[in-house]
Structure 1
């Protein structure tokens, strides 16, 4: 089965094509250009180079969050637009799980997948690498770096930090020997989204294009500010 996967949850954007677990091609751009300008041209050029069309794919996947609210919305919208004409099955992959798939070769490691959530928090999930794949230890969540460090300290040197929030955590986590993954492995990529989607498809965890939705974990900042204003108005 051919999978088209996109990743746009942070600064970098990427697109990948995978067939039965084998990567056929991937395009990766790490610039300050908006994903609305880079993502679809990458998809177009990748399909041209592989001589594939949208109709060839049995599954389309996207990192559905957490991450940048704008980036996640753009990625989900792109996949929905590509999938709607043929009602191609879709798969929304946790961005944190996609990050953990980048560490699949680190057998026995505990992977702390972490993204900068701003406002003094990070998005985080923990995985154990077993038999060449990440096994989720708990669900995605948002919390402070200090709270996370307190939880992770007992793991010690077997802990590997991954994601765009790894560098933020490194200074605090260094005290108990946590390791920073090499930059080439540290960040989420569309190929990792495709690997995660390949496993989820085997479990029947796909959806129709209209049912594909972002997963933010937190309200966007504008909505949080509006909520605060409304709460202040209700105060006596």
Structure 2
């Protein structure tokens, strides 16, 4: 199964091509302001360098959110058009789960993906990694930092990842002190989106282009004005 995975939810966007769980190629797009201009050329490049065209893709994996509303819309509309034209299924994957998946480990530990949602909020969740699998401990959502951090255990080591640790590093130290660990892994997650997407597609849990929806945990500014 050939999977095309797309992530445009943060500044660290990327596109990946997988054959089941094997990474064939990945292209990083480090600029959310130009996704509308750079996403399609990145897709064309990754397919052409592997001697493929879009018709040979068996399914799509999309980082459906949370994240930048503009970035989510660009990725969603692009993948939706591919899926509609090809009548192929799409796996909608959470950005937070993909960030946590990057840090999964056979040993038992806690992972906290954290995205800066602006307006004094964060998109966040807490996962426990067990045997290379993830269990959601604190639900994914939009939180005030203090509300979210108060839900986490302060007596266990937690691995924090995502762009939210830049804005809230001091507050994380305030709550968790020497129990806080910060990931230095690459922020690009199209490969992880593809891995999680493959599992969904393999289990027949993909959706059609018409059924594909973003993962929002709050309304956009445009929706709030309506």
State which drifts further: 197-206 or 56-65: 197-206
Aligned to 1:234: none
Larger Cα Rg: Structure 1 or Structure 2? 1
Give CA deviations for 1:154-212 in whole Å, capped at 9, x if unaligned.
Answer: 253x2011111122232112242211111x34x25111100111222233321111111
How far apart are the structure 2 equivalents of 1:163 and 1:52? 32
Q: Tell me, yes or no, if the aligned pair for 2:110 and 2:129 is still in contact at 8 Å.
A: yes
Stretches of structure 2 that go unaligned for 5 or more consecutive residues are none
Deviation at 1:222, TM superposition (A): 2.7
Deviation at 1:27, TM superposition (A): 0.3
Q: Does 1:159 align with 2:158?
A: yes
Aligned to 1:123: 123
Q: CA RMSD in A?
A: 1.7
Deviation at 1:82, TM superposition (A): 1.3
Between the two proteins, the alignment pairs up a number of residues equal to 223
Q: Tell me, yes or no, if the aligned pair for 1:170 and 1:180 is still in contact at 8 Å.
A: no
Aligned to 1:37: 37
Secondary structure at the counterpart of residue 62 of structure 1: strand
Secondary structure at the counterpart of residue 117 of structure 1: strand
Residue 106 to residue 31, structure 1, CA distance change in 2 (3 Å): farther
Q: Tell me, yes or no, if the aligned pair for 1:170 and 1:178 is still in contact at 8 Å.
A: no
How far apart are the structure 2 equivalents of 1:201 and 1:155? 38
The equivalences for 1:18-33 within 5 A come to 18-31=18-31, 33=33
How far apart are the structure 2 equivalents of 1:32 and 1:91? 22
The equivalences for 1:77-156 within 5 A come to 77-105=77-105, 107-156=107-156
Q: So what's the TM-score if we normalise by structure 1?
A: 0.88
Aligned to 2:5: 5
Q: Tell me, yes or no, if the aligned pair for 1:163 and 1:188 is still in contact at 8 Å.
A: no
Stretches of structure 1 that go unaligned for 5 or more consecutive residues are 228-236
Q: Tell me, yes or no, if the aligned pair for 1:101 and 1:195 is still in contact at 8 Å.
A: no
How far apart are the structure 1 equivalents of 2:72 and 2:127? 22
More helix by share: 1
Give CA deviations for 1:86-127 in whole Å, capped at 9, x if unaligned.
Answer: 201111111111111111247322111111111110011111
How far apart are the structure 1 equivalents of 2:223 and 2:33? 25
How far apart are the structure 2 equivalents of 1:107 and 1:117? 30
Deviation at 1:34, TM superposition (A): 1.4
Q: Tell me, yes or no, if the aligned pair for 1:153 and 1:173 is still in contact at 8 Å.
A: no
Deviation at 1:72, TM superposition (A): 0.2
Q: Tell me, yes or no, if the aligned pair for 1:60 and 1:90 is still in contact at 8 Å.
A: yes
Q: Tell me, yes or no, if the aligned pair for 2:13 and 2:32 is still in contact at 8 Å.
A: no
